[in-house]
Amino acid sequence: MIDIPYAASEIDKAWITFSQGGEVFSKTLEDDGVELSSNTITVRLSQEDTLKLDAGRSGQSFVKVQARFLLIDGSATGTNTLLLPVMKVEKGGVIK
């Protein structure tokens, strides 16, 4: 969940970008698991998304996350970049 300085009603489009090393991927409001409400945006990553991230040798590293917005008035803005922890997963691959 990312706190944002805008009301949900002010946002036309959003991109939430995750970056770690050379891996970069984004989610939009149209994607499953992305919810915009009040002054927060929540992104639930799929197993495939989380497997793109590397916990590193120590078992913990970080992913950079930034949200960018196109507001209904046509202006563009974004959040500061956040550093969120990536923890080691003992069982690799997609589980079903």
Residue 48 lies in a domain: yes
Residue 51 lies in a domain: yes
Residue 94 lies in a domain: no
Sign of CA dihedral 85, 17, 20, 45: positive
- The pLDDT assigned to 57 comes to 81
Residue 70 lies in a domain: yes
Do strands 60-71 and 11-20 pair parallel, antiparallel, or not at all (unpaired)? Answer: antiparallel
Residue 92 lies in a domain: no
33 with 41: CB under 8 angstroms? no
What's the number of CA atoms in the CB half-sphere (13 Å) around residue 23? Answer: 14
Q: pLDDT tens digits for 19-53?
A: 998 899 999 999 999 999 888 899 999 999 998 99
Domain hosting residue 51, numbered range = 2-82
Residue 96 lies in a domain: no
**Count of domains for the chain:** 1
Q: In the predicted model, what is the mean pLDDT of the chain?
A: 91
Q: What is the pTM of this model?
A: 0.86
Other Cβ atoms closer than 10 A to 96: 4
